[in-house]
Structure 1
Amino acid sequence: MEMFFNYKYLSKKHLKGFDTYKYSAIDTSPLSNYVMHPLWNVSVKLLPKWIAPNLLTFAGFLLMVAAVVLLGIYDYGCYGPLRATVQVVPDWVFTACAVFIFVSYNLDGMDGKQARRIGLSGPLGEMFDHGLDSYVVFFIPYALVTVFGRDHGYTISVFRGFLLVMSVSLNFYVSHCEKYNTGTLYLPWGYDISMWVSSLLFLMPGLYGPRVYHTYLFGYKFVNLLEIVVHATGLFTTLPITIYNIYIAKRNRTILNKSVIGMVRPVWSMLLMNAAILVWVIKSPNNILEYDPKAFILVYGTFFSNISCRLIVAEMSKQRCDVITWMCWPLLAGVSVSLYLPHLEIAVLYIIFVLSLAAHIHYGVCVVRQMCRHFKIQCFTVPKNKWK
């Protein structure tokens, strides 16, 4: 098993880039600066110093996995918590998910502070954090589909729910495209707000039952209003601010990629993957998204996370990212087979799911192991001389 995860995805140039990497981020969110950071500064002092920062990060990720698994057990088909007059998803499940998300968010905020507290800050921790975030950012809207369900008067279609997943995920990617060009991660205000809102969106049906969202606000169904806010956040805040920051960096001659072709290099893999997925959804002969929304959207999230992780590695090591990530080609092949050989479509979905997940896990584990060997550190272990 150990030999299987010894593949070297990182070149010598990648590792040399990591050697000189310095963290650069700007966070102007009032909620983050005046509420969360003071809270995390106090909370981290309660943690034993033998707890590795990456262990906090991974624990938070596992809590998100637990929320997704729990909702999948009770509502695999994304029909929601109600079947006619029968409630099939217990209230405690929503309460548990709210707690999982909020604790995961706080662990994600404390890991870096724990690293600085014990003197273990470094590129591995940031890469590990952002890499897992690329899955977490997809998990939250993925889990919220169950809160609202489908096929009743107060929900949206599975396709529109999938578009929400895409919208939230792409906001994350846009921010990292910005860092790829500017060298600085501008943390959007919406991140902290979205984590609080996501926790509350699960907590409310946990406390008052799932019918709490069967209501209208400002003349809109609650879920439709949420849909508008999510899409508007990306189109009118994240994207314009990213373009502006890249423009300012270019004007000030601090831009890392001088040409327009270099600036848009991260776009093509993500664009191709999203286009292929959308074509599959729209042209699917077996209505694949309706058939198994959990599996299909998880395939999307896995490809999204892999492309994002490769961009994160490139931005941190100051290397050029791939124009087209190799994993896009098996996806295109799978979509083509599904469209032209409809009787194989269901099998193709599950084959792509298994292979993409295995490939992504292999990439992540191998990159982390390679960085650990390079920096002569352990991912989940704190040296005893740091315990004091």
Structure 2
Amino acid sequence: MLNYLLLAYFDFDFSASAPDQKHIPAWIWVATGILNFTAYTLDGVDGKQARRTVSSTPLGELFDHGLDSWACCLFVATVYSVFSRAGNKGVPPGVLLVLLYIVLATFTLSHVEKYNTGVLFLPWGYDVSQLTISVVFITTAYLGVETWHKALPFGILYRDVFITMIVGCFTLFTVPQSLHNIYVASCAGTLKHGSVLEATRPLVSPVMLIALSSVWFLLSPEDVGRTHLRLFLWTVGTVFSNIACQLIVSQMSSTRCQMLNMLLPPLALITLLSCNGWLGRAEPATLVVYAMIVTVQHLHYGICVVWQLSRHFNIRTFSLQKPNSR
């Protein structure tokens, strides 16, 4: 989150890395590289620390993966500042949105797999991506953003390599691996849900989110997806995180996953009104209001769930000491 806020301050509209713009200071890239690696390391050891201190609970799992789901859009946004949206060597906003969808789909598939098999398989691509991001940030600090705009042999750009890696990992590794794991569980008779309808319930809300946000982005009369790109990404990422957190709770409690997230009907209404031109110039303000609503609602949901789980397990959220212990 700190990386996101730092880069949002210096590069709110994702154009600072363009050739004719004032670039982000080098020390910011050093800081973001260190912070990203630190966050990745802590994310990898928190479970081990919980087991070492005998404090592992479903609340910790929700904290871990719930925050990871929100971080998906933050990672994409921070890396985007390296390549910029401007110029013929930048990444167009529409392409960035597709890349965000792929990252969200990767996270979703892992947890849909657990919803059906009871086992969370974490793809190695996450580790590679986080290490790569840290290296890219540090490299940018010393060599400048111009490095990533230089052409490789055969006229290939670094942005093309970046895009190919994300799409390739998703199509060649993530999807086949998830399908394979579900197939193995099916053959072993350990699937938690027998019908296709029940098994695919967690996919309904993410697919609707992608469909609705894509329509709004493409057909917006005010072009809010491009003129307010950072806010649009934040909104999509926050709604997704709320969907993911509810799926995680369903996994932990072995309950039926909610098919339709309650943040989606308002999005559908806004998309309908917007694409028909009925919002007029109020469309950007509508995006701002909706973004504020989903952010507050998601925070409220998270706080309430944490409070309820803390009471249920008789634990203190940020302490190893139990309430009734001395």
Give the TM interval when normalised to the shorter protein: over 0.9
Matched, 1:210 2:145: yes
C-alpha displacement of 1:83: 5.0
Superposition CA RMSD, Å: 1.4
Q: Residues 49-84 of structure 1, C-alpha deviation per residue, up to 9 Å, x if partnerless?
A: xxxxxxxxxxxxxxxx11111111111111133451
Alignment correspondent of 1:32 = none
TM-score scaled by length of structure 1: 0.80
CA distance in 1, matches of 2:231, 2:53: 40
Alignment correspondent of 1:123 = 58
Matched, 1:149 2:84: yes
Of 88-97 and 371-380, deviating more is 88-97
C-alpha displacement of 1:272: 0.7
Alignment correspondent of 1:67 = 3
C-alpha displacement of 1:217: 3.3
C-alpha displacement of 1:339: 1.9
Select which of 317, 321, 326 maps to 1:379. Answer: 317
CA distance in 2, matches of 1:200, 1:135: 22
Distance 1:226 1:108, change over 3 A: same
Percent identical: 34
Secondary structure of 2:121 counterpart = strand
Letter in 1 for 2:93: V
Matched, 1:272 2:197: no
CA distance in 1, matches of 2:143, 2:14: 20
Q: Is the 8 A contact 1:91 1:207 kept in 2?
A: yes
Q: Is the 8 A contact 2:85 2:93 kept in 1?
A: yes
Select which of 91, 98, 103 maps to 2:33. Answer: 98
C-alpha displacement of 1:267: 0.8
CA distance in 2, matches of 1:273, 1:201: 30
Matched, 1:163 2:93: no
Following superposition, which runs of at least 4 residues in structure 1 exceed 4 angstroms of deviation? none
Of 117-126 and 347-356, deviating more is 117-126
Alignment correspondent of 2:198 = 262
Secondary structure of 2:38 counterpart = helix
Which of 1 and 2 has higher RCO (CA within 8 Å, sep 6+)? 1
Matched, 1:111 2:12: no
Aligned pairs for 1:1-388 within 5 A:
65-84=1-20, 86-219=21-154, 220-340=156-276, 341=278, 342-383=280-321
Q: Is the 8 A contact 2:18 2:90 kept in 1?
A: no
Q: Residues 326-348 of structure 1, C-alpha deviation per residue, up to 9 Å, x if partnerless?
A: 11111111212222323221111
Secondary structure of 1:193 counterpart = helix
Q: Is the 8 A contact 1:337 1:344 kept in 2?
A: no
Letter in 1 for 2:180: Y
Q: Is the 8 A contact 2:26 2:141 kept in 1?
A: yes
Q: Is the 8 A contact 1:338 1:348 kept in 2?
A: no
Letter in 2 for 1:277: S
CA distance in 2, matches of 1:262, 1:227: 33
Letter in 1 for 2:287: L
C-alpha displacement of 1:224: 1.1
Q: Residues 79-104 of structure 1, C-alpha deviation per residue, up to 9 Å, x if partnerless?
A: 133451x5331111111111111000
Secondary structure of 2:272 counterpart = helix
CA distance in 2, matches of 1:187, 1:78: 30
Q: Is the 8 A contact 1:339 1:345 kept in 2?
A: no
CA distance in 2, matches of 1:160, 1:289: 12
Secondary structure of 2:15 counterpart = coil
CA distance in 1, matches of 2:256, 2:275: 34
Alignment correspondent of 1:25 = none
C-alpha displacement of 1:169: 1.9
CA distance in 2, matches of 1:181, 1:218: 45
Secondary structure of 1:351 counterpart = helix
Letter in 2 for 1:119: V
TM-score scaled by length of structure 2: 0.95
C-alpha displacement of 1:233: 0.9
Q: Residues 95-130 of structure 1, C-alpha deviation per residue, up to 9 Å, x if partnerless?
A: 111111100011111211211121101111111101
Q: Is the 8 A contact 1:176 1:185 kept in 2?
A: yes
Structure 2 residues not aligned, in runs of 5+: none
Structure 1 residues not aligned, in runs of 5+: 1-64
